[in-house]
Amino acid sequence: MIAFAALSVQLNCSLFQFTLPAEHRVVPNSQPQSIHNVEAHWIGHATVLLRIYDRWILTDPCFSQYLGPVKRFVEPAMQVEDLPELDWVLISHTHFDHLDRASLKALPSAKRLLVPAGGAIYIPGVAADSVAPVVDGTVVEGDGVRVTAVPAQHFGGRILIDNLWDGEPYNGYVIEYKDVTVYFAGDTGYNDTLFKKLGEDFDIDLALIPVGPSGGNSLLRSAIGQYVHVDPYEAVQAFKDTGARWMVPIHHSTFYRRGGTEMELILDSIAKSGISERILLVKVGESLGFDVQNDRATYLSRGESLSQTDAQSATKQAETDADELRPD
């Protein structure tokens, strides 16, 4: 049944849809501004290029236009060859849109690659100094960075039938370096116990949380589909449960849907959150900078800053955007 729900995702994708260019291009700064302890560059879907001080981390690298029958709606916001030298590559689970073998083969050198233990057999020969299979609770350290594999509520099965023997090849990650902590949720359903435990165990600055696929009439919103994918409202609640300082919604507007109902739900969930100034919605290719010590986030691609004093105007803008897109 879970595999059938996953198949319904693919049926919501169109092979005949034109792939649109990303509105913004990610160009990593070789000399980052010291004011930003963290930069988050959204390449698309669950692929985020993170800079924490002088360390570069890439999550779920996926640069392919096609994943089997599934076609991208929006191009990746940068080319693989333009990536900086990577310190860490983090794979959350084995599904094709998160473990993309073609993208992994094309990656420049990386010092460390982490992948759930059940998915290690799918990792091709890659230019990584070390490939570490992980399970929930595994801690890997190197060059001052500490990465902890944390639970997710999802499902395995890269080719559907292997779900019978691959264990539980899915997790999220918490990255700690110096005074910064980032949570990458990967792909997950809502579980209040899981998220509240993360809030107890870690002092999270930035949470990268999926908000899609959502909307439409499909098995995705059945009990099974909802169990393995948070919708935007559940994603906001997960953010609150973790106690993170900022949230960046990911895993939307790239493969499965483009705007439409999904974006209406995302905007509405932000507007109703009561903390919209802390939820930073970006378009594919947009970049954010975070000054953790001074509690300030900046849209680098727009030259706009957002801080505690901006809360009222940010909330009003999110509510206005949601009202404009909400169906009558």
Three-class SS state of 113: strand
Torsion sign over Cα 129, 124, 188, 163: negative
Task: Look at residue 3 in the predicted model and tell me its pLDDT.
Answer: 42
Query: CB pairs under 8 A, 24+ apart, for 216-221?
Result: 216/12, 216/257, 216/261, 216/262, 218/8, 218/9, 218/11, 218/12, 219/4, 219/5, 219/8, 220/5, 220/8, 220/9, 220/12
In the chain, the number of structural domains is: 1
pLDDT below 70 — which residues of the chain?
Answer: 1-17, 30-34, 127, 159-167, 214-226, 256-260, 303-328
Smallest CA-to-CA distance from 306 within 269, 270, 281, 323 is with 281
CB 112 within 8 A of CB 91: no
Q: What's residue 71's pLDDT?
A: 83
Residue 57 host element (H or E)? strand 55-59
Q: What are the respective helix, strand and coil percentages of the chain, to the nearest 5?
A: 30, 25, 45
* The pLDDT value given to residue 327: 38
Per-residue pLDDT, 213:
74
Write the single-letter amino acid at 285: G
**What is the SS3 assignment for 178?**
coil
CATH number for the domain spanning 284: value is 3.60.15.10
In which element (H, E) is residue 290 found?
Answer: strand 287-291
Tokens linked to 67: 């994943």
pLDDT value, residue 242: 98
Domain that holds residue 240: 2-325
Radius of gyration of the chain (CA): 18
Q: What pLDDT, on the 0 to 100 scale, is given for residue 193?
A: 95
